[in-house]
Amino acid sequence: MPDKQMTIQRASRPGGESGARPIMLAIAGDSAAGKTTLTKGIVEALGHERITSICVDDYHRYDREERRSLPFTPLHPDCNYIEVMAQHLQLLARGEPILKPVYNHADGTLGRPVLVEPREFVIVEGLFPLYSKLARACFEATVYLDPPEPIRHAWKVRRDTQKRGYTEAQVLADLEKREPESAEFIRPQRAQADIVVRFSPIKERGEADTDPPSATVLLRPTISHPDLSNIVDDDMRHAMHLKLQRDDDGKPVDALHIHAYAEREDTRKVEEAIWDELDTHDALPESLGIVDGERSEPLALTQLILLYHLIQAKGA
Amino acid sequence: MPDKQMTIQRASRPGGESGARPIMLAIAGDSAAGKTTLTKGIVEALGHERITSICVDDYHRYDREERRSLPFTPLHPDCNYIEVMAQHLQLLARGEPILKPVYNHADGTLGRPVLVEPREFVIVEGLFPLYSKLARACFEATVYLDPPEPIRHAWKVRRDTQKRGYTEAQVLADLEKREPESAEFIRPQRAQADIVVRFSPIKERGEADTDPPSATVLLRPTISHPDLSNIVDDDMRHAMHLKLQRDDDGKPVDALHIHAYAEREDTRKVEEAIWDELDTHDALPESLGIVDGERSEPLALTQLILLYHLIQAKGA
């Protein structure tokens, strides 16, 4: 039961063989689910000197050329050094450096590895960080990004045509090819996360696909979240609301809905209340919620909740 | 004291988190000291399906181009991911796979890493496997290759001009540049080895530099060697002899001298006697001692002693 050993070893923080152990957050999700956008604001809020962020999609076993003759896509565990990924997560969780492989998305080649040393905090984003029990045991908090598939497809087309040199037809064909493996290997990680985030227009509220996305943040009682029940009250119902509900599997969750049109002054109140729960002398970071140069209140508040978990775990 | 922990953990073999732990042998020495030649015969004797061999010179931190503007040579620990090397040795010693970096000697670039899974036995050769206490704690037996410097220089000129695209003048300039770091970082590992091997003409016996080399094998009492005192007797004095002596530091060692002109029938007797000490059903391997297509009795016997340690540790 090595995952149990990992959990026990990490419970006796701080100080492993090589000194203090970092606080680790996982952000899992399918390709173009918004992992990098979510990560970016948290990294900027804490500062690059305090946080290490890595993408575990670098653990591809084959380069783009080799994959052409293989029967699976990068969403298949066999297409990745999945055990080495878990091994490296354990090393980071123990405060040790890793020599991380590098996959160049621009041209699909595997390059020379880089040294990654864990700072106070480590964010691990990618397709598979919640895939195995042992990998999950390395994290203080785990997130799964769960946008509706049509929206994720649109995001992927935009990104891969603009930044990775694919045509739209290629991306759409790729999405179709990946679908069975996404269903089999990626989406089951949703059930393993402490927090499930869905950026999407909320149709029940009359929001259209073209509107800036609202957020639904499912807060599972697997970790201790900030107490929002007194903060998110009826007065700010038009900006956000908290609802006790059952998840797809029937288990109870708190669902925080944050509307895209939420006013800064409303979210500000909630942010301050969450921040006050933390025993920190740092000021509430101003850098949250930025996407394409604009501030998104749903993104800002989601990032703040994740930041809360990092800072709270650090103090614990 | 992580080296002590490593030693203790390994003492409780077999069965780590991921199954059986391999028997590990280190072969350290400066560039062109003969590490690959020594390793090759052992790998062939055991068979590629039973033994993994890696070169830890792949842990270079910089490629050839980057090193041009740096004040040190690859013999400086700062020019290498020396902590990651030790970390990977620990992982292998625990029976876990590693994603090993790759340095291309042909063009001096760093490439994509490769997965290395430890088999029953692991040979680790390179410049630094005995550099740290933690690295040394990973091995059942450790060897340092110690040819006289003029002979090593000649070997390095031959290899680097024939196989690595350098001119003779470049190799000689490089050797001069490396000398201070060789003295400071590489040669001190000699004191840490269980076995020190010197391939060289033995001048006291009238052998010339151009003759095929004899071997002097220092057997330190840090591990339990085959009992040679009854095997290597006066009858075979012209082929080999064993001498109790003091090493440079005054500590007692057994020195086994094996002459290049030793007869196959004499070494055969010694080989069989060593082999009989092992509780093994395998036949005495015939593949030992081959260098450039010819059999060298000193090399064969040296390889057999190392093989003895691997097989003996496996049964222990």
**What residues in B contact A94, CB-CB < 8 Å?**
none
Minimum CA–CA partner of B102 in chain A: A112
pLDDT at A163: 87
Task: Kindly report, residue by residue over A158-201, the tens digit of the pLDDT.
Answer: 999 998 889 999 999 999 999 999 999 999 999 999 999 999 98
pLDDT at A14: 53
According to DSSP, the residues that pair with A196 across neighbouring strands are A144, A218
**What residues in A contact B17, CB-CB < 8 Å?**
2, 5
pLDDT at A230: 82
Residues A11-18 have a mean pLDDT of: 53
Query: CB-CB: which of B2, B81, B113 is closest to A17?
Result: B2
Task: Measure B105 CA to nearest chain A CA, in Å.
Answer: 14
pLDDT at B81: 97
* Contact residues of B toward A, CB < 8 A: 2, 5, 17, 61, 63, 81, 83-84, 87, 91, 96-99, 101, 109-113, 115
A194: which residues sit within 8 A by CB, 6+ positions away? Answer: A141, A142, A143, A219, A220, A222, A223, A309
Minimum CA–CA partner of A6 in chain B: B17
Task: Kindly report, residue by residue over A202-245, the tens digit of the pLDDT.
Answer: 777 777 776 778 999 999 999 999 988 888 888 888 889 999 99
The low-confidence residues of chain B, meaning pLDDT below 70, are 1, 8-19, 210, 316
Percentage of chain B beyond pLDDT 90 is 72
Is-contact A19 A306, C-beta < 8 A? no
Task: Measure A158 CA to nearest chain B CA, in Å.
Answer: 29
Q: How far, in Å, CA of B125 to CA of B183, rounded?
A: 19
Q: How far, in Å, CA of A64 to CA of A106, rounded?
A: 10
Q: How far, in Å, CA of A125 to CA of A227, rounded?
A: 26
Task: Kindly report, residue by residue over A116-150, the tens digit of the pLDDT.
Answer: 999 999 999 999 999 999 999 999 999 999 999 99
**To the nearest 10°, the Cα dihedral for A291, A297, A303, A307?**
130
pLDDT at A16: 47
B77: which residues sit within 8 A by CB, 6+ positions away? Answer: B128, B131, B185
pLDDT at A10: 67
Task: Kindly report, residue by residue over B193-251, the tens digit of the pLDDT.
Answer: 999 999 998 777 777 776 778 999 999 999 999 988 888 888 888 889 999 999 988 89
pLDDT at A17: 47
Cβ contacts below 8 Å, chain A against chain B, sum to 48
DSSP B64-99: HHHHTTSSS-TTSGGGBTHHHHHHHHHHHHTT--EE
Which of A7, A99, A102, A133 would you mutate first to test chain B, the one with the most B CBs within 10 A? A99
- Cβ separation B113–A99 shorter than 8 A: yes
Residue ranges of domains in chain B, CATH in brackets: 1-143 (3.40.50.300), 194-316 (no CATH)
Q: How far, in Å, CA of B53 to CA of B276, rounded?
A: 26
**What residues in B contact A84, CB-CB < 8 Å?**
97-99, 115
Selection from A110, A90, A91 nearest residue A102 by Cα: A110
Whether A7 shows a pLDDT value over 80: the answer reads no
pLDDT at B208: 73
Whether A1 shows a pLDDT value over 90: the answer reads no
Task: Measure A310 CA to nearest chain B CA, in Å.
Answer: 27
- Cβ separation A110–B112 shorter than 8 A: yes
Task: Kindly report, residue by residue over A26-39, the tens digit of the pLDDT.
Answer: 999 999 999 999 99
Residue B217: phi, psi to the nearest 5? -115, 110
Which of B112, B114, B115, B117 would you mutate first to test chain A, the one with the most A CBs within 10 A? B112
- Cβ separation B83–A101 shorter than 8 A: no
**What residues in B contact A87, CB-CB < 8 Å?**
91, 96-97
Q: How far, in Å, CA of B199 to CA of B146, rounded?
A: 8
pLDDT at B207: 73
pLDDT band of A3, cuts 50, 70, 90: confident
- Cβ separation A112–B101 shorter than 8 A: yes
Residue A245: phi, psi to the nearest 5? -150, 175
Q: How far, in Å, CA of A38 to CA of A57, rounded?
A: 16
**What residues in B contact A93, CB-CB < 8 Å?**
none
Minimum CA–CA partner of B134 in chain A: A17
**What residues in A contact B116, CB-CB < 8 Å?**
none
